Amino acid sequence: MSPTAAPAVVVLATRNSGKIHELSALLAPLGVAVRGLADHPEIGEIEETGATFEENALLKARAVAAATGLVAVADDSGLEVDALGGAPGVYSARYADPGATDARNNAKLLAALAGVPDERRGCRFVSVIAAAAPGALGGAETALRGTWEGRVAHDLRGGNGFGYDPLFIDRESPGSRRAAEMSREEKNAVSHRGKALRALLAVWPDFVAKLGA
């Protein structure tokens, strides 16, 4: 079955406008209408209780699929910093505090790495993208991972992106560019989320074939 046989509507299990823009662009090849949780105000906050990115992504996708009766796609992503033992990891969005802003999270990360030299500031963005169908469509699910290697900068730079993008130096980028200095197209070509979603697209025909089974 080809990707054109995909469901007419996919719900993205997020209210993060940055993620919605990125994922919508990356899902465009599927030819489906994309909704976010803003289109489903009846769905409350989904508590991320998993210990891994995979657990959290599947937890969110399953919850939204069950609530909407539609295929749901969820991303759980974060930044792993080597010098911090992999932190903030799955707690990236709430690293500074439960209601943390990007600014507070970035400030805490800079403080935690104060005095740490460049050679010990290695990091990676991790994204796991999960798709889940509601029980009425067979309950199929899958989860794929993508990573983006980099280094944590000593200061903020760039006005694009969100989260830790102003601090993330792409290891392969000429001139040590930050993720926040890249266009959306440039970022999607190399990012953790782009890699995870391309992996999802590769298995999408098999996923769709299971719908209704």
| 30-82 pLDDT tens trace | 777 788 898 888 898 888 899 999 999 999 999 999 999 999 999 999 999 99
Please tell me the distance from the alpha carbon of residue 146 to that of residue 126, in angstroms, as a whole number: 6
SS3 13: coil
Q: Which two tokens stand for residue 179?
A: 């993720």
Q: Which two tokens stand for residue 168?
A: 């993330």
Give 180-190 pLDDT, tens digit per residue. Answer: 999 988 998 99
Q: What's the total number of domains in the chain?
A: 1
**Type of residue numbered 175:** G
CB 158 within 8 A of CB 166: yes
State the Cα torsion 33-139-200-9 to the nearest 10°. Answer: 0
Active site residue 76: yes
Catalytic residue among 75, 76, 102, 165: 76
CATH of the domain at 113: 3.90.950.10
For 160, the domain range is 3-209
Please tell me the distance from the alpha carbon of residue 71 to that of residue 209, in angstroms, as a whole number: 13
